[in-house]
Structure 1
Amino acid sequence: MLSGKRIILGVTGGIAAYKAAFLLRALQKAGAEVRVTMTPAATRFVGTETFSSLSKHEVAVDVFPEKDSATDSWTQHISWAEWADLFVIAPCTANTLSKIANGAADNMLTSTVLAARCPLFICPTMDGEMFESPAVQKNLETVQEFGYHILEPEEGYLASGLEGKGRLPETNLILEKCNTVLSQYRSNGPLAGKKVVVTAGPTREHIDPVRFISNPSSGKMGFAMAKAAQNMGADVTLIHGPVTIEKPEGITTIEIESAQELFEQVQNHSDANVVIMAAAVSDFTPKETHQQKVKKDKADSSIQLKKTPDILSWLGDHKNDGQILIGFAMETENLLENAKDKLERKNADWIVANSLNDDDSGFASDKNKVHLLSKNDSIQIEGLKSEVARQVLSHIFKNS
């Protein structure tokens, strides 16, 4: 469950802060990418360099970081909140718990809590008498009413020298709780119980065994859509062309090469509740495919082409009741006009349109800038492709 997940680890100012370094390593070993945010008090127990070295990311402490910081934007708490699949605060002191319960935003950690769109999991850790105090117990009730998840501390020998309930639970228990929280989030997601088919990557139309017509699609956007659908609870089938990026875990994948092969697989899975056509499908294929390599001195100077199947049109013509059809459009000019026309002609419910002329958009980039259109709605979304995918599906299904 943690493999491929993006996790924010919040560390607050208690003696158990040193244990967060071991938790960070355990999360990484489980396959997660981890970023760390610390309260200023936490840095008195463990230096930021420890966590930045382990996480390979700069540690976020202040809302207004130093000017020479690699990430000097005061909006970093927003971008991190959009990035994360899970926010874990371990250890969480009584002070930070109180701030969370009352909506304070006086440092990067508490600000990111308020901006978070993902599940929040808190490990309250403090002296036993503090944990049992009426104020702390009331704050625990409050954050649970917010929908935040709590793993209660363990009993044992505390930093004060006393015995009591306040110790940070063992790392394996925290990992188990992380899995449980993510599982619950997925099972209650807007796509829970839905079958979703996503197409991704390029197609190849062979001229002969060593030459083909294709495009530069990396498959990153389609893979991001598949992962976002999975995180929202869907049973996802990903049909993709030749790509070099890593396949997402827990998702059924089907490899294809040509537009015809893609068409056949889409037809086989056209009973899905949602179909997301993110693949960059070749519009033309050679009329003749040679079985042997064509030698240069024997080759014609032109290649006769024929149109490939219009898969999105076929889906629009054969749409099931209640089925949602999401198409993609990449343009070099007249983006919105062409996207609206495609929406109508293909009988799609939504079109995700982006321009090759925009910076940080299009083929191979990790980022994207898109317009999401329906017959009655239009919004612009930009950011990492993973976040764009999440926002696209969240907007479509009205659940963030």
Structure 2
Amino acid sequence: MQPLVIIGAGLAGYTLAREWRKHDAHSPLTLVCADHGDFYAKPMLSNAFAQHKEPERLINAPAAQMAEQLGARLLSETRVEALDIAAQRITTAAGTLEYGALVLALGADPIRLPLAGDAAAAVLSVNDLDDYRRLRGLLKPAARVAILGGGLIGCEFANDFAGAGLAVTLLDPAPRPLASLAPAAVGERLAAALVAHGVDWRPGRALRAVEHAATGYRLTLDDGSELFADVVLSAVGLRPRTQLAQAAGLATARGIVVDGGLRSSAPAVYALGDCAEIEGRVRAYVMPIMQTARALAQTLAGTPSHVAFPPMPVVVKTPACPIVVEPPAAGLAVDWRYEELAGGLIARGVAADGTLAGFALAGSGVVGQRNALVKALGAPV
């Protein structure tokens, strides 16, 4: 019997393996990953520095322990070079491996901005534990840190670093943080909170060049202004890893194209996590990944399952102004109605038919209303 092979040992790959083992305790299972294979919570990377967490403290279980728990063969530090869909075989640097079913949990790569300057290559991204280890080694006391991108991850890093006493500048071409996730007033409230926390927030600004300076780097912005930093961190987004699938002839768009059952365009090949485009949409947050892993585990165990996504609010870990967002459906126009309370701001997205289609909560005094608003979705406002 050929094994179930999972390429990738991040949250998606390991969660799928665990869920599948609940249905099938004995069939052969192989996981292949390019990194060390230790299991850790990637979302913790953006708020670990101020808590003085060394990289090793973020590991929940080392690779050997995960392999034992799952009854799996784990090939860590093994890069997959090619997929042979017809022969149901993968080629790695260590040799070939046949599969009965193949799951691509490849993750995503940080988007690299096209920057000028002799130090453009020094711009860092944090996409895994090794990246965090490298970044942490550069963050000396009172270091000047420039963060590119005012999205969820950029804001979390900015809040975390400022809380640790670093001099943080946050840049984004948008007029407010979380511009693609949260309504305007919520982003503006977060901006004010970050500024009060010590962050130098630069809206409407983009980085053009990074050059070596006498100490650190000189950054030139799109308006010609300059600033200096010891560390430059890019948090402008991720791009699903599709190269391996494309080379094998699988259908790809923004991600690896799969249907609601996580099936790719090739027989016995599935995808989930940051690399997958599920019915036209990449769902990269933790809760959707957990949901897809449970559905795919059932399918692989012999009970075909179609993934369903209940409301799964996004939590932004910014203690200066905690935020929870349940965005309206993509493309749905809503009227944002705001309620200002002593403990924060409630934003309700009201659809044309008068029902609640989404919400956002900003402030420690209101984020506890998440469950009540989830229950109210679809009801008249």
Q: If the length of structure 1 is used for normalisation, what is the TM-score?
A: 0.21
**Greater helix content:** 1
TM-score computed with the length of structure 2 as normaliser: 0.22
Rg: which structure is higher?
1
